[in-house]
A and B are shown apart, each in its own frame.
Chain A
Amino acid sequence: MNVPADLKYAKSHEWLRMKGDTAVVGITDHAQSELTDVVFVETPSVGRKVKAGEGCAVVESVKTASDIYAPVSGEIIAANTQLAQHPELVNSDPYGQGWIFEIKVSQASEMAQLLTPEAYTSQVSAT
């Protein structure tokens, strides 16, 4: 299982790559391997304001639809339009081209709730 050391993680299997006060968000390698065969991704509208823990994207695999949650509160400032034609990027490159949205963080204090790579790894290993 690939858990890059330079990212933050949410318990609900999203990763965040911080760039100043914004964060790029996707789902972890573990999450994509649980879902397998991603066939459709519904990305959030740019400009939408979300609260931490709010469902704001949906990843559809052959088997099921899974909600993707905003790991922190803020405003959606970008969504990965490439996923409309290539949803399988979530499987093949979950930490790169398979990113889902970018959020401008409104409550910096929420960052403390996120997991370190070590903490996320042990959460996944425990299940």
Chain B
Amino acid sequence: MKRTPLHAIHQKLGARMIEFGGWEMPVFYTSIADEHLATRNAAGIFDISHMGEIWAKGESVGDFLNLLLTNNINKLRPGLGQYTLLCQESGGVIDDLYVYQLAADEFLMVVNAARIEDDFAWMQKQWQAWPRRDSVKLTNASDDFGAVAVQGPKVANFIDSCVERGGIRPSELGKNEIARAQFAGKDIYVSRTGYTGEDGFEMVAPAPAMETLWNAITDAGRAHGLKPAGLGARDTLRTEVCYPLYGHELDLETTPLEAGLGFFVALDKSEFLGRQILLAQKAAGPKRKLVAFKMQGRCAPPRPGYLIWTAGSAGPVGKVTSGTQSPTLSVGIGLGYVEQNFATPNTAIEIEIRGQRAPATIVARPIYKPTKAPTSKI
């Protein structure tokens, strides 16, 4: 199992460690609910060093990435990022990721830990076939960089003191903006992004700087209620705001349109991998759709793999992909795929839990909307 540059810190904090995507990661330090609520009410710091960093540089890089990725990269400018998807020709999702434009001819892609190798192999394969490949250079720098996410409504109050003075102020970044900052004499990247629905920042730094960066942030955030938070809270936080997790809501057999991510698929831009299938699927309407649901009253929380029924249906109409007890709402919540005609909010459904069906209702996404959600400048 791979370890992040923050492994020693997790051990010192007494974190419970688990395997995730080939990495040994903290699942919680005190409890998932504690860390979840700290992030919703104040601030949480997450080790996300397992995520991958792939650099793409060169004169033709924008055109190349626009062929690979579903969102329109021409909407970016230096200093701005976007959520996007990497699809096969079949429209199936290879990965979901953030792509940031750092300079006219330089982009950074932050990808899922378990997908780094597959993503990079796919990108290289496409690069081989690209007529202008001499003016595009791809580098998988995942092992050289670590990253933390600092999330929550109080983070903007202390984040500026975590980078060197005289440079950029992270709190002045708009949503999805990224800037280079200095920390301990090293270049780091700070973006106003995250996976919790709260305001917050993600910081990508060279691996050897990670421990001092973590300590600087935890020192600055302590008085604001900052707590270290593990993958458990990261998962419950993203489930409440209905962000997909690769391997749960997304995989090679699922298209972005089925997952409700059409906003990030620019069908009207130039040709890209998967576009033909996605155009056809959009015209016909996807047969199944991702929905969010809430359990009715007190019952066991829904879990991935549980079957979804409707009253009187002869068989299951779908399957749960993510589920938990919402620490914010104190009710069972989940995401899952259902046949398209059952996908409307307020539809009554039933979740099969250990052979018994418990009532639930399909709800609009997100299931929970943070009170101080990040605002967009763009």
- Is the C-beta of B215 less than 8 angstroms from some C-beta in chain A? no
* A60 proximity list for chain B (CB < 8 A): 300-301, 325
Residue of A nearest to B326 (CB): A62
- A34 an interface residue at 8 Å Cβ cutoff? yes
Q: Is the CB of A63 within 8 A of B298?
A: no
Q: Known contacts being A42-B354, A60-B325, is A37 close to B300, with CB within 8 Å?
A: no
Most B-side CB within 10 Å, residue of A37, A60, A62: A62
B:270-315 near A, CB below 8 Å: 298-301, 303
Indicate if A124 sits at the interface (CB-CB under 8 A): no
Residues of A within 8 A of B298 (CB): 40, 84-85
Q: Is A65 an interface residue when CB atoms closer than 8 A count as contact?
A: yes
CB closest residue in chain A, given B303: A65
Contact with B33, one of A36, A64, A85 (Cβ below 8 angstroms):
A36
Stretch at the interface among B24-32, B43-51, B186-194: B24-32
**Interface flag for A39 (CB, 8 Å):** yes
User: 1/0 per position for B211-243, CB-CB distance to A under 8 A?
Assistant: 000000000000000000000100010000000
- Contact partner of B325 (CB less than 8 A), chosen from A62, A84, A85, is A62
CB-defined A-B contacts under 8 Å, sample of 12? A36-B28, A37-B327, A40-B299, A58-B300, A60-B301, A60-B325, A61-B32, A62-B32, A62-B325, A63-B27, A63-B324, A64-B303
Alpha-carbon distance A63/B31, docked complex (angstroms): 10
Q: Which residues of chain A have a CB within 8 Å of any CB of chain B? A: 34, 36-37, 39-40, 42, 58, 60-65, 84-85
Do A34 and B301 form a contact, CB below 8 Å, given A58-B354, A62-B33? Answer: no
The CA of A37 and the CA of B301, in the complex, are separated in Å by 12
| A34 lies within 8 A of B16 (CB) | yes
Q: Are B300 and A36 in contact (CB under 8 A)?
A: no
Q: How large is the interface on B (under 10, 10 to 19, 20 to 34, 35 or more residues)?
A: 10 to 19
Measured in the bound complex, the distance between the Cα atoms of B324 and A82 in whole Å is 22
- CB-based contact B232/A62 at 8 Å: yes
Which of B232, B327, B354 neighbours the largest number of chain A CB atoms within 10 Å of its CB? B232
Since A39-B325, A62-B232, A65-B303 are in contact, a sample of 20 more A-B pairs with Cβ atoms closer than 8 Å, ordered by chain A residue number, is: A36-B32, A37-B327, A39-B301, A40-B300, A42-B354, A58-B300, A58-B354, A60-B300, A60-B301, A61-B32, A62-B32, A62-B33, A62-B36, A62-B301, A62-B324, A62-B327, A63-B27, A63-B28, A63-B32, A84-B298
With a cutoff of 8 Å between Cβ atoms, the chain A residues found around residue B33 in the complex are: 36-37, 62
Q: A58-B354, A62-B232, A63-B232 are in contact. Are A37 and B303 (CB under 8 A)?
A: no
Which residue on chain B has the smallest CB distance to residue A87? B298
Q: Which chain A residues border B236 with CB–CB below 8 Å?
A: 62
In the complex the two chains form, what is the Cα distance from A47 to B215 in whole Å?
56
Residue of A nearest to B356 (CB): A42
By Cβ-Cβ distance, the 5 closest A-B pairs, closest first, are A36-B31, A39-B325, A37-B33, A62-B32, A40-B300
Which residue of B is nearest A42, CB measured?
Answer: B300
How near does chain B come to A124, taking the closest CB pair, in angstroms? 14
* Separation of A85 and B298 alpha carbons in the complex (Å): 8
CB-defined contacts of A84 to chain B, threshold 8 Å? 298
**Nearest-CB distance from A125 to chain B (Å)?**
15
| Cβ-defined contact, B354 with A37, below 8 A | no
Q: Which residues of chain B have C-beta atoms less than 8 A from A58's C-beta? A: 300, 354
Determine the chain A residues whose CB is within 8 A of the CB of B16 once the complex forms. 34
